[in-house]
Amino acid sequence: MKTLFRFLKQLQVMIGLGLILFFVAVAFFAPQIAPMQGANIVSDEPTPFRIIGNRFDGEPKPPSAEAPFGTTGDQYDIYTLMVWGTRTALRFGLTVTIVTAFIGTLLGAMSGYIGGWFNGLTMRVTDALLTFPLVAGVWMLDNLARPIFSLQTRDFVTNDLIRLLSYLQIEPIILGFILFSWMPYARLMNANVQTLKRFSFIQASEALGGGAFHIVWKHLIPNAISPALVLAARDVGGMVIMATAFTFIGVGGGDEWGIILSTSRNWIVGIGGNPLQYWWTFVPTTAAIILFGVAWNLLGDGVGVLLNPKK
């Protein structure tokens, strides 16, 4: 309890948790505060892409009673997209961060403990992927995987796997982020474990007959994971910002916040160079993205202070 109280007493943690709880509440109550409707001409299925008025008007409409945050140039209701985009952001950020942290932590800890040629090979692969540009990697995997997701093959195992990924809402861009984002965790854990495995309590566990996986899971990871936890807390916001950027440039396409900015890019500067003429097309969404990233960074800073033995 004392540790929890010391953690919550930090100002940055209180602000960060407050913002995160706000986003969680918006995502949880999204069906109540922004009900989905059929998208008129586009589809009769419920969708957050709610069209206000005539889709072919071609000019964003300012905030009104029907559209509290106005509309995009395609007449999408920005308010509805922002609310449902909160749910997408949380799902994407947490999914990618949890999976990448787990893979990188376990792989880095195992290779650091085993050492030898296995550690050398693992770290060389890690370094090679670290030098590979994230943008190029995600773009390549997204273009390779997307046709497979829409392909119906005679291989029932492949079809079942595709259906499972679709049911879990695991899109190709999520797989791309996971494949090219686990390396920092592996590097952190590898360096910490190589130092810890020389300590006497590890040697005592080995003398008592503890296996490699038992020692790594029960002793090394709990004592070396602090930097990885800080990185994970900060990565949730960073992953969402990157996903929004990918959607903006046309890679991925499932992020509502990115779609708002992408469809509004031609209205950021209005007639006569006035940047505020169509402010509702980018200011609310940009503010939401910034606050989301700041919230998780503040939480990460608080976790770093909490786990710092010098503090």
Q: Residues 20-45: what's their mean pLDDT?
A: 78
Tokens of 239: 């992953």
pLDDT at 290: 94
If one counts every other C-beta atom within 10 angstroms of the C-beta of residue 258, the result is 27
Burial of 285-306, coded b for 16+ CB within 10 Å and e otherwise, reads beebbeebbebbbbbbbbbbbb
Residue 271 pLDDT: 66
How much is the CA Rg of the chain, to the nearest whole Å? 23
The residue to which tokens 């950021």 are assigned: 268
* pLDDT band, residue 309 (cuts 50/70/90): low
Cα dist from 135 to 127, 142, 251, whole Å: 17, 11, 9
Per-residue pLDDT of 52-65, as tens digits, reads 877 777 788 888 88
Q: How much of the chain, in percent, has pLDDT values that exceed 90?
A: 34
Position 162 pLDDT exceeds 70:
no
Span of 162-171, 241-250, 263-272 with lowest mean pLDDT: 162-171
Which residues fall within 8 angstroms of residue 211, CB to CB, at 6 or more apart? Answer: none
The upper half-sphere exposure of residue 37, i.e. CA atoms within 13 Å in the direction of its Cβ, equals 11
Name the residue with higher pLDDT: 75 or 184. Answer: 184
- The amino acid that residue 137 corresponds to is G
Query: What is the per-residue pLDDT for 292?
Result: 96
- Kindly report, residue by residue over 116-153, the tens digit of the pLDDT: 899 999 999 999 988 888 888 888 877 776 666 555 44
Q: Which of 14-23, 91-100, 154-163, 228-237 has the weakest average pLDDT?
A: 154-163
What are the residue ranges spanned by the domains of the chain?
2-132+180-307
* The predicted structure's pLDDT at residue 42: 47
Q: Where is mean pLDDT largest: 15-29, 239-253, 293-307?
A: 15-29
DSSP 280: G
Mean pLDDT of 17-40: 86
If pLDDT is split at 50, 70 and 90, which confidence band does 197 have? Answer: confident
pLDDT over 70 (residue 172): yes
Q: Long-range contacts of range 50-53, CB-CB < 8 Å, 24 or more positions apart?
A: 50/76, 50/77, 50/80, 50/81, 51/75, 51/76, 51/77, 52/76, 52/77
Mean pLDDT (whole number) for 202-209: 82
pLDDT digit string (tens) for 100-121? 999 999 999 999 999 889 999 9
Helix and strand counts by DSSP (H, E) for the chain: 15, 2
Per-residue pLDDT band at 253 (split at 50, 70, 90): low
Assess whether pLDDT exceeds 80 at residue 265: yes
Q: Return mean pLDDT, the chain.
A: 83
- pLDDT, residue 41, reads 44
pTM of the model: 0.85
Q: How confident is the model at residue 266 (pLDDT cuts 50, 70, 90)?
A: confident
Of 3.30.70, 1.20.1250, 1.10.3720, 1.20.120, the CATH number of 2-132+180-307 is 1.10.3720
